[in-house]
Chains A and B, each alone.
Chain A
Amino acid sequence: MTAALSILELGGLNVLLALSVYATFKVGQFSLAQVGFWSIGAYGTGILTSLYGLPLLPAVLLCGLGSAVIGLLLGYPCLRIRGIYLALATVAFSEVVRVFFHNFKFQVERDGKLVGPDASLGFRGIEVLTAWPQILCAVLILIFVFAWIERSRLGLSANAVREDETAAACAGVNVVAIKVGMFAFGAFIAGMGGGLYSTYVSFVNSDNFGFHLALLSIFYVSVGGTERFYGPVIGALLLTALPELLRITGDFRMIVYGVIVLALMLLFPRGVADELRLRVGSLFRRARPAARSGPNDY
């Protein structure tokens, strides 16, 4: 039971990471920077709560806002680059952040013990403040926000930017504001999620936030689906639970895991959620009553 719960808790945290990547995918940006924001949130919240005794909520919100500001600063110059170049620029950002925390030593004495980030030895003894209720709240709020965005005209504009920036601009969409805004929103989610992560696991090390996690974050979204918000949610939960369910395969676990992920990508190239939605949708896509005007009249 506790094992199942902790898988769900980790899954919930990964949903936050996946949604932050999704926010950038939504406007057609392939960003690997979310891990950088995630670790800023993790270290920041750890320091604010364990060293300065701030409660969890303000600490997490502050780190989210801090990440969003950095996201704005990074997002604006990144407007001009796309595709593989954007991926490179954002992975470079994540590496800069990782190396910074690898050397970041900032310790304060608390109750006769030194606490705080100890460079390459990591940040030990973060007060555990997060469990499933906090994670569930964050996930539900974000799902609500994304569902709201996708139903509103804002989501329509964001999708238009992803599909074709030039056509979107000519349709009156403010492309710069939408792209930078969504990038900063993604950074906000990652900063917040990182904060929940560090106060959940109580120990973070810069090596946890390397290229591997960046790849996983992209995996969640591309396996789940990139077009609707439930795609990354399903992807993150699926890929978090899968390695645990595969424990019965013993030593072959990661091999089977890799094969299953490959198979999912081949069977559902748009992601599990979107592919199912479209296939089910096309079953119901009957033609409406015949057109009453247009060139077919003649």
Chain B
Amino acid sequence: MLRITNLSKSFGGLQALSGLSLSVGAGEIFGLIGPNGSGKTTTINVLTGIYLASGGNFSMGGHELTDAKPEVIARAGMVRTFQNLRLFSSHSVMDNVRTGQSILCKSMLSRFSAFATKEELELRREADALIERFGLWDRRDWPAGVLSYGEKKRLEMARALAMRPKVLLLDEPAAGMNAVELEWLMKVIREIGASGVSVVLVEHHMKLIMNVCDNIAVLNFGAKIAEGAPVAISCDPEVITAYLGKSH
């Protein structure tokens, strides 16, 4: 589904990503881990068009997207959440979810009409279902800015899913979640994968990564140092060195 070939990104002299190659299948849950500053979020930013790649390319379902603008990438079906929450905070919860849905409007009428068309009603039902699924039903009309941190995190995921993504990039969805929320998050991520959406999961939370991912890649200083199934990764000596340092 998602194929990344030799992707690199440098900021001046700093090589944030060097020659990253990955391939994520349809419905696969792919973990991207590594120490702080290893290039995980940079990867997501390049994939969503926020940064332009300095080299290499990536494509989704055979569709070349390397130099495309963020909105083109989003319309193609690669959708993300943000590590440091970027909601439309004065919008209601419902409107946050609806914003991304505009790309799904097939008729010009529902895009520009002030009155709900049949298609629009359909989309609103879909948004309602998502809001309910993410436990925000009682907050449906509240401005996103007044939600609690956990609720905002869930709203980010609901907003992303509303765009019916083919590839979903989750940037640290578990940050700040308690044990109960974490259990729930694992269940949801598995469901998303099972529905055929590829998930790229950037996370520091090892329990989450080891539990839900089909495959994991480990980044260090912008380069991939290991890739494989969770069990293999957790025993890889190079990974342990990168995370814990070398013993003397």
Which A residues lie at the B interface, using CB under 8 A?
A: 147-149, 151-154, 156-157, 159-160, 163-164, 166-175, 227, 285, 287-298
Contact = CB atoms under 8 A, between A and B. Distances in A.
B110 A295 contact: no
A172 B114 contact: no
Contacts of A290: 137-138
A102 to B, nearest CB: 41
Interface stretch (B54-62, B70-78, B201-209): B70-78
Contacts of A291: 132, 135-138
B183 interface: yes
Interface residues of B, number: 51
B134 to A, nearest CB: 6
B152 interface: no
B63 interface: no
Contacts of B142: 285
B91 A160 contact: yes
Interface string B81-98: 010001111110001001
B184 A295 contact: yes
Contacts, number: 129
Contacts of A151: 114-115
Contacts of B90: 159, 163, 227
Interface of B: 48-50, 69-71, 74-75, 79-80, 82, 86-91, 95, 98-100, 102-103, 105, 110-115, 120, 132-142, 150, 154, 159, 163, 180-181, 183-185
A153 B112 contact: yes
A242 to B, nearest CB: 28
Contacts of B87: 163-164, 167
**Interface-centre pick from A156, A170, A174, A291 (highest chain B CB count, 10 A):** A170
A241 to B, nearest CB: 29
A157 to B, nearest CB: 6
A229 B71 CA distance: 27
Contact of A292 (B50, B120, B132): B132
Contacts of B48: 170
Nearest to A298: B180
Contact of B50 (A149, A170, A285): A170
B86 A156 contact: no
Contact of B74 (A149, A169, A288, A295): A169
Contact of B112 (A152, A170, A293, A296): A152
Contact of B88 (A160, A169, A292, A297): A160
B222 to A, nearest CB: 22
Contacts of B137: 288-292
B82 A172 contact: no
Contacts of A295: 135, 150, 154, 180-181, 183-185
Nearest to B98: A156
B138 A287 contact: yes
A153 B70 contact: no
Contact of B70 (A152, A160, A169, A287): A169
A254 to B, nearest CB: 34
B74 A170 contact: yes
B43 to A, nearest CB: 15
A171 B86 CA distance: 11
Contact of B102 (A170, A172, A298): A172
The 3 closest A-B pairs by CB, nearest first: A294-B135, A169-B70, A151-B114
Contacts of B71: 169-170, 172-175
B69 A167 contact: no
Contacts of B70: 166, 169-170
**Interface-centre pick from A157, A160, A166, A295 (highest chain B CB count, 10 A):** A295
B88 A172 contact: no
Contacts of B100: 171-172
Contact of B114 (A147, A159, A160, A170): A147
**Interface-centre pick from A164, A290, A293, A296 (highest chain B CB count, 10 A):** A293
B44 to A, nearest CB: 10
B86 A167 contact: yes
6 contacts: A160-B99, A164-B86, A169-B71, A175-B71, A287-B139, A295-B184
Contacts of B49: 169
Contacts of A172: 71, 74-75, 100, 102-103, 163
Contact of A297 (B79, B110, B111, B184): B184
Contact of B91 (A159, A173, A285): A159
**Interface-centre pick from B86, B87, B111, B115 (highest chain A CB count, 10 A):** B86
A57 B139 CA distance: 48
Given A147-B114, A297-B184, A163 B91 contact: yes
Nearest to A278: B143
B96 to A, nearest CB: 9
Contacts of A296: 135
